[in-house]
Structure 1
Amino acid sequence: MTDTSDRRFATTLARGLSILRAFRPTDSGLGNQDISERTGIPRPTVSRLTFTLCALGYLTHGRKHDKYRLGPAALALGNIAAASFSFVESAGPEMQKLANDTGTLIGIAIHDSGRMLLTKTWRPVDSASIWLEVGYRLPMLTSSTGRAYLSAVTDTEFDQLAAILTEEGETAAHTLAPLRQEAIADVQGSGFAHVPRDRHYSSNINSVAVPYRPHEFGSPVVFFSGATYDEVATDDFRATIGPALARAVAGLRDRAL
């Protein structure tokens, strides 16, 4: 967990970045009050920060009382970041094929403040919209994606995650270590993580996930495959889709060596 008491920590910068992170793909715009409610930052402070972010091009709004949207500078920054992670482009063709072959949503998620943030998706060709969009945050302890991440963290990363989850009331610190060991055994045994329906955050969603640590990234990312229970049965996920996803990620790992 970041030590905000460290004199090197720039609180104003952190608050500005939290405003940018508050936006979701489904938003049609956010007002200062909306941003304040999502971030916990007082509205007068939000007003000053949104003014500054607009002046720098990271936010935009059409007229005086219009709602804010991410601006061109944020788009440029996102594109530069995406281009710097070569594993995403390298994985693209195989992950798209896997999505088409399995009829499931394939995606990448990263850790973000105690949750798993969806950052990239591949959808089956000609499919209807599937429940998850880029920007969606999955719970750490009750999703297959979170379970896969938990299986791959270092001891230092685990301690940081435990501090975040304990502070947010997600779990007591002493209960997280057994969950980590369970996740490690799950991934080592089958090659992927899977949270059963009765423990999953959504009783309608079925998924499997595989961790991957890219050399250009400071922490693990997670590849996942998901669909509703009506679309894909658990037996299919565990017998065919999970192993296929694990092989695809292993191939990505081998090519990076």
Structure 2
Amino acid sequence: MEHHDPRMATTLARGLSVLRAFRTNDNGLTNAELAARCGLPKSTISRLTWTLRELGYLTRAEGEDRFRPGPSLVAVGHVAASSLSFIEPADGVMSALADRTGTLVLLAVRNFDRMIVLRTWKPKDVYSRWMEVGHRLPLQQRSTALAFAGALSSTEFSAIDQKLQSLGGSPLLHEEYQQARAELRERGFILNSGETEPTRTYRSASVPFRATELDEPVVFSCGEPISNSSVAHFEKEVGPALREAVQNLERLTGQMPKFDYED
């Protein structure tokens, strides 16, 4: 991930790419594994991991060659999550939604060219393991990414897409952008029925939410195994219930974003 803008602090960007490389199911990562994930030389990764370990952002047990997120990184993540004013009220709203629909509810935010799961709410007495915190979704993944893209103005869409491509990331969903905006305008949620994707095992519905402290939307989604649900259930019950929950969250937080799907 290289950038030729002279304002870019390349070393910082590379260090952050190392921190982004970790996933929740990793049992630590070696320098070689980090080099492969970041697309950087192993010698560069070695310098970065040494620095990040010295600063507490990475940790490594004595005698091991595997790095893990360190206490400084955990602290920064906690402060960042705590600064989002809508998280606390969202807990009650989304927990009730999970119980009401029997689906797993998640909150996803954009992290470079992925949507990353920041929080999940599981229904009581229902086994629902769809995605865990830290799971990354490609920006081509319907419906979470489409809800994110569809909530952007045309100016925002172009700016983010240009930045992603300049950094070597995956482009946004150009062909489906207007379709997503039309779907959000007409029914207020994006539906992934799973009917046209034979390998997909879950249905999902997604709704964008715009917080005043963030400069781009986040997305709330509901998901359930295809074997346990029907398209009609998501169209008539889950999707509308999610839309109402997000509208309720907007009222509770005093954040009533007006998405303009016409520009």
Query: What TM-score comes out, normalization by structure 1 length?
Result: 0.91
Aligned-partner SS, 2:8: coil
| Equivalent in the alignment of 2:5 | 6
Count residues with an aligned counterpart. 253
Matched, 1:214 2:173: no
From 223, 239, 243, give the equivalent of 1:242. 239
2:176 maps to 1:179 = yes
The CA deviation string for residues 209-236 of structure 1, in whole angstroms up to 9 with x for no partner, is 0001100111100000001101221111
Work out whether 1:17 is the aligned partner of 2:39.
no
Q: Distance in 2 between matches of 1:128 and 1:13?
A: 41
Aligned-pair identity (%): 40
1:225 to 222, 226, 235: 222
In the alignment, residue 216 of structure 1 is paired with which amino acid?
E
Aligned to 1:93: 92
Extract unaligned runs of 5+ from structure 2.
255-263
Q: Tell me the CA shift for residue 41 of structure 1.
A: 1.3
Tell me the equivalent position of 1:120.
119
**C-alpha deviation, 1:194, in angstroms:** 1.1
Listed as ranges, the gaps of 5+ residues in structure 1 are none
TM-score by length of 2: 0.89
Deviation at 1:197, TM superposition (A): 1.9
Which residue of structure 2 aligns with residue 162 of structure 1? 161
CA contact (8 A) 1:194 1:207 kept: yes
Amino acid at match of 1:50: T
Q: Residue in 2 aligned with 1:254? A: 251
The alpha-carbon deviation at position 15 of structure 1 amounts to 0.6
Among residues 199, 203, 220, which one is paired with 2:200 in the alignment? 203
Over the residues paired in the alignment, what is the CA RMSD in angstroms?
2.3
Q: Which amino acid aligns with 1:49?
A: L
Distance 1:20 1:114 in 2: 15
Give distance in 1, aligned partners of 2:84 and 2:160. 23
* The 10-residue stretch of structure 1 (135-144 or 87-96) with the greater mean CA deviation from structure 2: 135-144
Q: Please give the alpha-carbon distance, in whole angstroms, between the structure 2 residues aligned to 1:123 and 1:136.
A: 15
- d(CA) in 1 for partners of 2:160 and 2:122? 30
Map Cα deviations across residues 188-215 of structure 1 (whole Å, 9 max, x no partner).
Answer: 1111001342445952110000001100
**Aligned with 1:179: secondary structure?**
helix
The separation in 1 between residues aligned to 2:140 and 2:74, in whole angstroms, is: 31
Deviation string 1:4-37 (CA, Å, 9 cap, x unpaired) is 3222210100111111111111111100011111
CA distance in 1, matches of 2:7, 2:63: 36
Deviation at 1:110, TM superposition (A): 1.1
What is residue 147 of structure 1 aligned with on the other side?
146
Q: In 1, are the aligned partners of 2:2 and 2:10 still within 8 Å (CA)?
A: no
Structure 1 residues 3 and 36, CA gap change in structure 2 (3 angstroms): closer
1:73 aligned residue: 72
Q: 1:86 aligns to what SS in structure 2? A: coil
CA 184–77 in structure 1, closer or farther in 2 if over 3 Å, else same: same
